[in-house]
A and B are shown apart, each in its own frame.
Chain A
Amino acid sequence: QVQLVQSGAEVKKPGASVKVSCKASGYTFTGYYMHWVRQAPGQGLEWMGWINPNSGGTNYAQKFQGRVTMTRDTSISTAYMELSRLRSDDTAVYYCARLDYDSSGYGYDYWGQGTLVTVSS
Protein backbone atom coordinates (compact mmCIF):
# COMPACT_ATOMS: atom_id res chain seq x y z
CA GLN A 1 0.00 0.00 0.00
CA VAL A 2 1.12 3.53 -0.69
CA GLN A 3 2.71 5.31 2.27
CA LEU A 4 4.46 8.61 2.76
CA VAL A 5 6.33 8.71 6.05
CA GLN A 6 7.81 12.01 7.17
CA SER A 7 10.58 12.80 9.61
CA GLY A 8 9.89 13.86 13.16
CA ALA A 9 9.12 17.19 14.75
CA GLU A 10 11.81 19.87 14.80
CA VAL A 11 12.49 22.91 16.96
CA LYS A 12 14.67 25.58 15.37
CA LYS A 13 15.90 29.05 16.23
CA PRO A 14 15.14 32.03 14.01
CA GLY A 15 17.62 32.26 11.14
CA ALA A 16 18.33 28.52 11.11
CA SER A 17 17.39 25.98 8.43
CA VAL A 18 15.26 22.85 8.60
CA LYS A 19 15.20 19.83 6.32
CA VAL A 20 12.13 17.58 6.33
CA SER A 21 12.15 14.17 4.68
CA CYS A 22 9.31 12.19 3.11
CA LYS A 23 9.94 8.50 2.46
CA ALA A 24 7.68 6.92 -0.14
CA SER A 25 6.78 3.26 -0.39
CA GLY A 26 4.26 1.07 -2.18
CA TYR A 27 4.60 2.71 -5.59
CA THR A 28 7.17 3.81 -8.16
CA PHE A 29 8.67 6.90 -6.58
CA THR A 30 9.78 8.44 -9.85
CA GLY A 31 6.34 8.13 -11.39
CA TYR A 32 4.57 10.88 -9.44
CA TYR A 33 5.37 14.49 -8.63
CA MET A 34 5.73 15.24 -4.93
CA HIS A 35 4.31 18.47 -3.55
CA TRP A 36 4.85 20.20 -0.24
CA VAL A 37 2.08 21.99 1.64
CA ARG A 38 2.23 23.68 5.02
CA GLN A 39 -0.33 24.67 7.63
CA ALA A 40 0.32 27.20 10.37
CA PRO A 41 -1.45 26.59 13.69
CA GLY A 42 -5.19 27.16 13.30
CA GLN A 43 -4.75 28.34 9.71
CA GLY A 44 -5.43 27.02 6.21
CA LEU A 45 -3.30 25.11 3.74
CA GLU A 46 -0.48 26.79 1.84
CA TRP A 47 1.16 25.30 -1.23
CA MET A 48 4.96 25.54 -1.24
CA GLY A 49 6.10 23.81 -4.40
CA TRP A 50 6.80 20.51 -6.10
CA ILE A 51 9.61 18.27 -7.23
CA ASN A 52 9.63 15.85 -10.13
CA PRO A 53 11.39 12.83 -8.57
CA ASN A 54 12.32 11.52 -12.01
CA SER A 55 14.20 14.56 -13.30
CA GLY A 56 14.77 16.50 -10.10
CA GLY A 57 13.04 19.50 -11.63
CA THR A 58 11.31 21.83 -9.19
CA ASN A 59 8.75 24.61 -9.08
CA TYR A 60 8.42 26.80 -5.99
CA ALA A 61 5.70 29.19 -4.90
CA GLN A 62 6.88 32.75 -5.37
CA LYS A 63 6.56 33.39 -1.65
CA PHE A 64 9.27 30.84 -0.88
CA GLN A 65 11.63 31.48 -3.79
CA GLY A 66 15.18 31.81 -2.51
CA ARG A 67 14.40 30.16 0.83
CA VAL A 68 13.14 26.71 -0.11
CA THR A 69 14.98 23.83 -1.78
CA MET A 70 13.33 20.57 -2.74
CA THR A 71 15.49 17.58 -3.54
CA ARG A 72 15.16 13.83 -3.78
CA ASP A 73 17.18 10.65 -3.44
CA THR A 74 15.74 8.07 -5.79
CA SER A 75 17.90 5.29 -4.32
CA ILE A 76 15.89 5.45 -1.11
CA SER A 77 12.61 6.85 -2.53
CA THR A 78 12.79 9.94 -0.37
CA ALA A 79 11.93 13.55 -1.05
CA TYR A 80 13.28 16.45 0.99
CA MET A 81 12.17 19.99 1.66
CA GLU A 82 14.67 22.41 3.15
CA LEU A 83 13.59 25.84 4.34
CA SER A 84 16.24 28.37 5.30
CA ARG A 85 16.34 31.66 7.21
CA LEU A 86 13.51 30.50 9.41
CA ARG A 87 11.19 33.03 11.04
CA SER A 88 8.62 32.58 13.76
CA ASP A 89 5.83 32.65 11.17
CA ASP A 90 7.33 29.54 9.56
CA THR A 91 6.02 27.59 12.55
CA ALA A 92 3.69 25.10 10.91
CA VAL A 93 2.96 21.49 10.07
CA TYR A 94 4.67 20.61 6.79
CA TYR A 95 3.13 17.92 4.59
CA CYS A 96 4.37 16.07 1.55
CA ALA A 97 1.65 14.94 -0.85
CA ARG A 98 1.70 12.79 -3.97
CA LEU A 99 0.06 14.27 -7.05
CA ASP A 100 -1.97 11.82 -9.07
CA TYR A 101 -3.90 12.47 -12.23
CA ASP A 102 -6.09 10.76 -14.77
CA SER A 103 -8.23 11.84 -17.69
CA SER A 104 -10.52 13.77 -15.32
CA GLY A 105 -7.96 15.81 -13.49
CA TYR A 106 -5.44 16.13 -10.68
CA GLY A 107 -5.42 15.59 -6.94
CA TYR A 108 -3.20 14.80 -3.97
CA ASP A 109 -4.24 11.23 -3.31
CA TYR A 110 -1.72 10.40 -0.58
CA TRP A 111 -0.31 12.62 2.14
CA GLY A 112 2.41 12.25 4.69
CA GLN A 113 1.48 12.41 8.36
CA GLY A 114 2.91 15.91 8.69
CA THR A 115 6.00 17.29 10.43
CA LEU A 116 5.65 20.05 13.00
CA VAL A 117 8.38 22.64 12.70
CA THR A 118 8.52 25.11 15.57
CA VAL A 119 10.63 28.24 15.22
CA SER A 120 11.33 29.86 18.54
CA SER A 121 14.18 31.66 20.24
Chain B
Amino acid sequence: EIVLTQSPGTLSLSPGERATLSCRASQSVSSSYLAWYQQKPGQAPRLLIYGASSRATGIPDRFSGSGSGTDFTLTISRLEPEDFAVYYCQQYGSSHTFGGGTKVEIK
Protein backbone atom coordinates (compact mmCIF):
# COMPACT_ATOMS: atom_id res chain seq x y z
CA GLU B 1 0.00 0.00 0.00
CA ILE B 2 1.26 3.46 -0.88
CA VAL B 3 1.54 5.74 2.14
CA LEU B 4 1.13 9.49 1.63
CA THR B 5 2.80 11.78 4.17
CA GLN B 6 1.66 15.39 4.25
CA SER B 7 3.67 18.21 5.77
CA PRO B 8 3.49 20.34 7.69
CA GLY B 9 0.68 19.13 9.89
CA THR B 10 -0.40 22.70 10.52
CA LEU B 11 0.47 25.87 8.63
CA SER B 12 -0.18 29.20 10.35
CA LEU B 13 -0.37 32.04 7.87
CA SER B 14 -2.06 35.39 7.34
CA PRO B 15 -4.46 36.29 4.53
CA GLY B 16 -2.53 37.34 1.45
CA GLU B 17 0.42 35.07 2.20
CA ARG B 18 1.54 32.14 0.09
CA ALA B 19 0.89 28.58 1.29
CA THR B 20 3.00 25.63 0.20
CA LEU B 21 1.76 22.16 1.17
CA SER B 22 3.74 18.98 0.61
CA CYS B 23 2.61 15.41 -0.10
CA ARG B 24 5.26 12.70 -0.22
CA ALA B 25 4.52 9.14 -1.38
CA SER B 26 6.23 5.99 -0.15
CA GLN B 27 6.41 4.76 -3.77
CA SER B 28 6.21 6.49 -7.12
CA VAL B 29 2.71 7.62 -8.08
CA SER B 30 1.59 8.38 -11.60
CA SER B 31 0.80 12.07 -11.87
CA SER B 32 -2.60 11.15 -13.31
CA TYR B 33 -3.42 9.50 -10.02
CA LEU B 34 -2.70 12.36 -7.58
CA ALA B 35 -5.45 14.70 -6.38
CA TRP B 36 -5.89 17.40 -3.73
CA TYR B 37 -9.02 18.15 -1.71
CA GLN B 38 -10.09 20.96 0.59
CA GLN B 39 -12.34 20.29 3.57
CA LYS B 40 -14.01 22.80 5.86
CA PRO B 41 -15.61 21.87 9.20
CA GLY B 42 -18.91 20.08 8.81
CA GLN B 43 -18.60 19.82 5.03
CA ALA B 44 -17.70 17.13 2.55
CA PRO B 45 -14.31 17.47 0.87
CA ARG B 46 -14.08 19.46 -2.35
CA LEU B 47 -11.90 18.51 -5.30
CA LEU B 48 -9.28 21.18 -6.03
CA ILE B 49 -6.61 19.55 -8.18
CA TYR B 50 -6.53 16.29 -10.12
CA GLY B 51 -3.85 14.76 -12.31
CA ALA B 52 -1.36 16.48 -9.98
CA SER B 53 -1.74 19.87 -11.69
CA SER B 54 -5.18 20.27 -13.31
CA ARG B 55 -7.63 22.54 -11.53
CA ALA B 56 -11.12 21.16 -11.06
CA THR B 57 -14.12 23.04 -12.39
CA GLY B 58 -14.68 26.36 -10.64
CA ILE B 59 -11.42 26.33 -8.66
CA PRO B 60 -9.69 29.74 -8.59
CA ASP B 61 -6.31 30.03 -10.26
CA ARG B 62 -4.61 30.93 -6.98
CA PHE B 63 -4.61 27.16 -6.38
CA SER B 64 -1.94 25.22 -8.26
CA GLY B 65 -0.51 21.73 -8.06
CA SER B 66 2.85 20.40 -9.15
CA GLY B 67 5.18 17.48 -8.72
CA SER B 68 5.83 13.98 -9.94
CA GLY B 69 7.05 10.60 -8.76
CA THR B 70 7.01 10.72 -4.98
CA ASP B 71 6.88 14.48 -4.29
CA PHE B 72 3.86 16.65 -4.91
CA THR B 73 2.99 20.20 -3.88
CA LEU B 74 -0.17 22.25 -3.54
CA THR B 75 0.40 26.00 -3.64
CA ILE B 76 -2.09 28.70 -2.74
CA SER B 77 -0.57 31.88 -4.14
CA ARG B 78 -2.40 34.40 -1.95
CA LEU B 79 -4.57 33.13 0.87
CA GLU B 80 -8.14 34.36 0.95
CA PRO B 81 -10.20 34.14 4.18
CA GLU B 82 -12.18 31.21 2.73
CA ASP B 83 -9.01 29.18 2.10
CA PHE B 84 -8.39 28.40 5.78
CA ALA B 85 -9.28 24.72 5.92
CA VAL B 86 -7.77 21.23 5.91
CA TYR B 87 -6.17 19.94 2.71
CA TYR B 88 -5.72 16.28 1.75
CA CYS B 89 -3.82 14.62 -1.05
CA GLN B 90 -4.96 11.27 -2.43
CA GLN B 91 -3.49 8.74 -4.81
CA TYR B 92 -5.45 6.33 -7.00
CA GLY B 93 -2.62 4.03 -7.99
CA SER B 94 -2.80 1.52 -5.21
CA SER B 95 -5.61 1.28 -2.70
CA HIS B 96 -6.57 4.94 -3.18
CA THR B 97 -5.02 6.17 0.04
CA PHE B 98 -5.27 9.68 1.48
CA GLY B 99 -2.59 11.65 3.24
CA GLY B 100 -3.10 12.66 6.84
CA GLY B 101 -3.97 16.25 5.95
CA THR B 102 -2.52 19.74 6.45
CA LYS B 103 -4.50 22.30 8.39
CA VAL B 104 -4.06 25.86 7.14
CA GLU B 105 -4.99 28.15 10.00
CA ILE B 106 -5.11 31.90 10.47
CA LYS B 107 -2.02 33.29 12.18
User: Which residue of A45, A95, A105 is within 8 Å of B50 (Cβ)?
Assistant: A105
The reply to whether A112 and B35 contact each other, CB–CB distance below 8 Å, is no
The 3 closest A-B pairs by CB, nearest first: A105-B51, A107-B50, A104-B51
Which residues of B from 56 to 102 have beta carbons under 8 Å from A? 56-57, 88, 90, 92, 95-101
The reply to whether B47 and A107 contact each other, CB–CB distance below 8 Å, is yes
User: Which residue of B45, B96, B100 is within 8 Å of A111 (Cβ)?
Assistant: B45
Cβ distance A114 to chain B, nearest Cβ, rounded Å: 6
Q: Which residues of A contact B (CB under 8 A)?
A: 35, 37, 44-47, 50, 61-62, 95, 97, 101-102, 104-109, 111-114
User: Within the assembled complex, what's the spacing in Å between the Cα atoms of A101 and B31?
Assistant: 13
Interface size on B, residues (CB 8 A): 30
Q: Which of B1, B47, B88 has most A Cβ within 10 Å? A: B47
The reply to whether A106 and B32 contact each other, CB–CB distance below 8 Å, is yes
User: Which residue of A47, A97, A112, A113 is within 8 Å of B95 (Cβ)?
Assistant: A47
- CB-nearest residue of chain B relative to A48? B96
Which residues of B from 23 to 41 have beta carbons under 8 Å from A? 31-35, 37, 39
User: Which residue of B32, B44, B57, B98 is within 8 Å of A47 (Cβ)?
Assistant: B98
Cβ distance A103 to chain B, nearest Cβ, rounded Å: 8
- CB-nearest residue of chain B relative to A112? B44
User: What residues of B have a CB within 8 angstroms of the CB of A106 in the complex?
Assistant: 32-33, 35, 50-51, 92
